[in-house]
Amino acid sequence: MDMQTEELASEEESFGPLALAKLEGNGISANDVKKLEDAGYHTVESVAYAPKKQLTTIKGISEAKADKLLAEALKLVPMGFTTATEFHQRRSELVQLTTGSKELDKLLGSGIETGSITEIFGEFRTGKTQLCHTLAVTCQLPIDQGGGEGKALYIDTEGTFRPERLLAVAERYGLNGGDVLDNVAYARAYNTDHQTQLLLQASAMMSESRYALLIVDSATALYRTDYSGRGELSARQMHMARFLRTLLRLADEFGVAVVITNQVVAQVDGASMFTADPKKPIGGNIMAHASTTRLYLRKGRGETRICKIYDSPCLPEAEAMFAINADGIGDAKD
């Protein structure tokens, strides 16, 4: 029996990220590992993916030490070329999280993909936050039911998180409400620096326990107020790019699904006269390139909403209708 549990533990380790302690030895002391942890690096992958100049900014890590750390990390993390066959095999094993609506899942190719960033944008009242609340529950379901068998992290910048909504969705799936709430870690972000700081805490939590989903609702709201005018545009975009890069690193490192919501801006230039829908997501090209899949939500009749795939590397541009029900996101009734 003990042999079996040991085998299971080693099997689990081979899937998840590697603990930072594995770097110890070969000229790397426990003290160096402690310095890395204090700086927000909790896995071997996070060190391997970091550029050298970022490691040398850590207090007590010299250039030679950074070289040593990277060399040791590269021995443990495969970062070279691989065949498309192998990569295809890895992609076929990706977990997809159900949105609660069969139509929406079908549009997304069976749900929200883990290991990448999905951006949801639209006007107010189009269901962005409701979709986030539903996902925070469905990610806890067993994999055969369209879940991710993991916890959820929720970073809220607009003060719209409501646990009551989670309880309603939990009831629909026959889950214990108390357990569902215990499995959602919530933080309110008050400014853009705090929002980035929370991601460091998130990586520490993810290295200790299994998380399937990270939600940032909304990723851009605080940037609109912390930076104003054209004079601060370049500083805003650079700060946002660093924030999005950290999100992508978490998705790569821990294989979580990252879902961010975004606001829209109305185009008031001459071109808007010729477009049917003169709204576009904010954040510019930096936001557009960082998101793997972009979903555009708009209002339909009554409780129905329409989701359009705005940008995706593998899904065709198509639309699906869903509804916001008392128990979360569901299919629209004809």
The answer to whether the peptide bond before residue 209 is cis (omega within 30 degrees of 0) is no
Per residue in 310-331, pLDDT (tens digit) is 999 999 999 999 999 999 999 9
Q: Judging by beta carbons within 10 Å of its beta carbon (0-12, 13-18, 19+), is residue 324 exposed, middle or buried? A: buried
* Beta strands, E only, the chain: 96-97, 112-113, 117-122, 151-156, 184-188, 211-217, 257-262, 264-266, 279-281, 293-299, 304-311, 319-325, 328-331
Per residue in 93-148, pLDDT (tens digit) is 899 999 999 999 999 998 999 999 999 999 999 999 999 999 999 999 999 999 99
The angle at the Cα of 186, spanning 197 to 9, to the nearest 5 degrees, equals 90
Among the ranges given (25-34, 78-87, 125-134, 179-188), the one the predictor scored with the smallest mean pLDDT:
25-34
Per residue in 274-311, pLDDT (tens digit) is 666 778 898 889 999 999 999 999 999 888 999 999 99
Share of the chain above pLDDT 90, in %: 72
| pLDDT on residue 247 | 96
Section 174-198 average pLDDT? 96
CA–CA dist 199, 185 (Å, integer) = 12
Section 226-238 average pLDDT? 92
CA–CA dist 323, 305 (Å, integer) = 6
The angle at the Cα of 273, spanning 269 to 278, to the nearest 5 degrees, equals 75
The answer to whether 257 touches 117, Cβ cutoff 8 Å, is: no
C-alpha closest to that of 79 among 116, 115, 49, 41? 49
Per residue in 21-60, pLDDT (tens digit) is 888 877 888 898 999 988 889 999 999 999 999 999 999 8
Average pLDDT over all residues of the chain: 90
Share of the chain above pLDDT 70, in %: 92
